[in-house]
Chains A and B, each alone.
Chain A
Amino acid sequence: MSTRESMDEVRSIAEREYKFGFFTELEEDTIPKGLNEDVIRLISTKKEEPDWMLEWRLESFAKWLEMQGHEPKWARIKHPPIDFQDIRYYSAPRSKDDGPKSLDEVDPEILATYEKLGIPLREREVLAGVAVDAVFDSISVATTYKAKLAELGIIFCSFSEAVREHPDLVRKYLGTVVPQGDNFYACLNSAVFSDGSFVYIPEGVRCPMELSTYFRINAAETGQFERTLIVAAPGSYVSYLEGCTAPMRDENQLHAAVVELIALEDAEIKYSTVQNWYPGDAEGKGGIYNFVTKRGACRGRNAKISWTQVETGSAITWKYPSVLLEAEGSRGEFYSVAVTNNRQQADTGTKMIHLAPNTSSTIISKGISAGFSQNTYRGLVRVNPKADNARNYTQCDSLLIGENCGGHTVPYIQVRNRSARVEHEATASKISDDQLFYCQVRGLGTEDAVSLIVNGFCKEVMQKLPMEFAVEAQKLLGISLEGSVG
């Protein structure tokens, strides 16, 4: 390879390493660092919340205070203790009015940021079929296609707006899947959650477009605590996409979100995530700590919830999208690709809790580790005594690139009903020198070869992603692993 060519290659790889690491100059409305009741009251006031919402936050905060020193320690991740008083719990772009009423009132800097991220907020530029809710630091800045969806009775808005405009729905479902005191991070979120999306699909309605939320952490020293609630009424269907990015910063930033899904009789929710939070640099400096609680409940007969995730970002990922199979004949699915490179640590998997007869679940997990990273699949399949004829199929595959990374599989299987059928398959493999050489001899460069092999490894999961997302996710896999093979 000539010097010029290799220089170009180095440059392009350096540029592609994390292309979302820019910071937008904005006038921010922030509050001082630290967490106490006053901060929670302030957040609630800024969001013009009703009293019941404030009460719920304060209850959560009281619970969280009791949990001090009980951060979950069972995951295979290492990080210095997080100083929760050294984080800012609210930051919003300061707008001229109380809040944007339409896209024209959104700060052009923010619109430009989303353009850079490839998220077109302008409805005329939106790819047909994707409605976007964009969350910037602590608030939701714009939701597109709202009017068109409203014609079908679909509610798709920011969580704050839902609290104000649809309080009955929010109160009915909030915290019913992930209770306030569920775990340390979910409890913190319940106290300080900033914004997120709310979706309600009425009975019998098939949502005609993908609903999408894009999360962006912009401000420094700020945590992001979004909360998403999706309710699918009987016989309805929705496909929801979530993406996320953050600027490159030397300090670690905390992201502790909660997502609750509720699928009623014959309803189906498909939730897809492409997680690309800033992973830190090659030495492990900076990056997002991602402690997220995602859970869905199949609350009516034959309901179905499907999680698909492509996790490439974050310094630490701690995340177990789960399904409670509460009603007869309901189905849960979890399809995951988790990529770690450099010093990243991921401990991710799922929980499938079979509580009713004839429930079934499928878990396909693909872990890819490179560099000095550690990648753990941790999954629970539980079949309770009442869940006659429950079925689970689990497949966990790990792919290792290089000599210094680790891939781990930690399955927990708890079966309390003799009619259950639970299958677990696991493989671990390495990208072999033979495979790389074979690709090269056909004319493919090392990076292209790794990308091709990895995409082949993940194919079963990638096929589950909606089309536009699959293309983005494939590129992301290649970018995340660049430089991983010498």
Chain B
Amino acid sequence: MTENILEIRNLYATVDGADILKGVDLTLPAGEVHAIMGPNGSGKSTLAYVLAGRPGYEVTKGEVLYGGRDLLALGPDERAQAGLFLAFQYPVEIPGVANSVFLKAAVNAQRRARAEPELDAMDFLKRAKVELARLEMDQDFLTRPVNVGFSGGEKKRNEVFHMAMLEPTLAVLDETDSGLDIDALRIVADGVNRLRGPDRSMLVITHYQRLLNHMVPDRIHVLAQGRIAASGGKELALELEEKGYAAFTGEKSAA
């Protein structure tokens, strides 16, 4: 029997008083990778932020179960400690804080919360260097301040690096492919693929089909006008490519 890591039921959410999510239903079984596609303004990023617990994103109806727990009752840091990860579409700069210092603090905060022994500096560095090498990232990513002066591609790669170090149970990737050239896209996709496993689920939010050539999802959902308008296998992405989102949004409003 497959256990569901994430169950979103009839989820409604508002941002600044505007209704953005209007009854999202989505089930993600453990170990699967699902893609969420949709036109601009359909609520993809809102869904990611609601799952991560961003202040100001208010859930007005519905529920989200994470491994059977009420996810919405947890603060954003507690969600992270419980194994939820969000790769930001626009990663935030923190001047003066070395990436390694930040990441080590994060890893150990999570370990403390789970009553696991903390990583010491040596173990942490050893692991960090291995992951950096895999992502074809320079060692100076450890000493550079978090996201400060990073190019768009470097920021996205850094998010994948964070994910690799934090080993989440559920990773939500919010348009991690946007702004990447072909080579960077391949590296990021390879990085994500390597992290796939029976104990790790992913929700990959993307605007374009091209990412899904490198990172084949188990299922694809189309989010339109705040609801899941269609779900299907990987062939759905090709159909989208061919017909465009209009077909789905149109169908939805006609129904």
Contacts and interface: CB of A to CB of B under 8 A. Distances in A.
Given A1-B75, A433-B55, A456-B145, A442 B95 contact: no
A444 B110 CA distance: 8
Contacts of A460: 96
Interface residues of B, number: 34
Interface stretch (A275-283, A348-356, A446-454): A446-454
A456 B101 CA distance: 10
B96 A441 contact: no
Given A441-B52, A441-B76, A452 B95 contact: no
Nearest to A446: B77
Nearest to B86: A441
Interface string A429-451: 00011110111111111101000
Contacts of B94: 435, 438-439, 452-453, 456
Contacts of B79: 441
A452 B92 contact: no
A440 B74 CA distance: 12
Interface string B67-109: 0000000111111110001101001111111000111011101
Nearest to A432: B92
Contacts of B106: 439, 442-444
B113 A442 contact: no
A444 B76 CA distance: 9
Question: Lowest 5 CB-CB distances: which A-B pairs, in order?
Answer: A456-B96, A456-B97, A443-B80, A442-B106, A438-B92
A448 B75 contact: no
B13 to A, nearest CB: 16
Nearest to A458: B96
Given A437-B54, A438-B88, A456-B145, A444 B75 contact: no
Interface in A390-438: 432-435, 437-438
A445 B109 CA distance: 8
Interface of A: 1, 432-435, 437-446, 448, 452-453, 455-460
Residue among B102, B103, B145 with max Cβ neighbours from chain A (10 Å) = B102
Given A443-B80, A443-B81, A453 B97 contact: yes
Contacts of B160: none
Given A438-B92, A456-B145, A443 B97 contact: no
B128 interface: no
Contacts of A448: 105, 109
B97 A437 contact: no
B95 A437 contact: no
A448 B77 CA distance: 11
Contacts of A446: 77
Contacts of B220: none
Contact of A457 (B78, B96, B102, B107): B96
Contacts of B78: 1
Looking at A432, A434, A441, A460, the one whose CB has the most chain B CB atoms below 10 A away is A441
Contacts of A455: 96-97
A432 B55 CA distance: 12
Contacts of B77: 440-441, 443-446
A434 B92 contact: yes
B162 interface: yes
A441 B87 CA distance: 9
B95 to A, nearest CB: 6
B127 to A, nearest CB: 16
A437 B101 CA distance: 17
A452 B166 contact: no
25 contacts: A1-B75, A1-B78, A432-B92, A441-B53, A441-B79, A441-B80, A441-B85, A441-B88, A442-B103, A442-B162, A443-B77, A443-B81, A443-B107, A443-B109, A444-B106, A445-B109, A446-B77, A452-B101, A453-B94, A455-B97, A456-B94, A456-B145, A457-B96, A458-B96, A459-B96
Interface string B165-204: 0100000000000000000000000000000000000000
Contact of B102 (A433, A442, A459): A442
Contacts of B91: 438
A355 to B, nearest CB: 34
